[in-house]
Structure 1
Amino acid sequence: MALIITDDCINCDVCEPECPNVAISQGDEIYVIDSSRCTECVGHYDTPQCVEVCPVDAIIKDENCVESDEQLWAKYEQLTSGT
């Protein structure tokens, strides 16, 4: 499943540059994750890098966007193939 950033976000700016899929951007009040680009770092890293660097644990799994490992891999392949 994709990840989301909760209201606990303190806008510290550390998550955005860590995302290999450019899925994180500044929203109106807090950073947001584009679920169509989030692969939880599948294909790039063993763990989601944004979760690793978040100092307030504001990044969690999005229960409304459940995806299997196979779906995350397929999304990774689509994002990296340029199609």
Structure 2
Amino acid sequence: MIRSVFAFHHGGVSVPDLEAAIAWYGEMLGFALEHRFFIEKANAKAAFVKNGSLRFELFEVVGAAPLPDERRFPPSDLRTHGN
């Protein structure tokens, strides 16, 4: 039997303001900017921030919708599949 070894590389978060998110992750959680890039097919500015071995991909997509009100309260948001 072949066993695959998986490792967590990063999580992704859509944000309304990439610059503000990079600053917040740095100031509040100690993440450093790893690199910036553009995702052409999504028309999105993006960046990786890193703290130790943990990375987040932050992306700002032109025309993205804000988080719906029902998703802003963690106890009810946990009742949404995919979280």
| Smaller-chain TM-score bracket | under 0.3
TM-score (norm 2): 0.27
Query: Rg larger in 1 or in 2?
Result: 2
Structure scoring higher RCO (CA < 8 A, sep ≥ 6) equals 1
Q: TM-score, normalised by structure 1?
A: 0.27
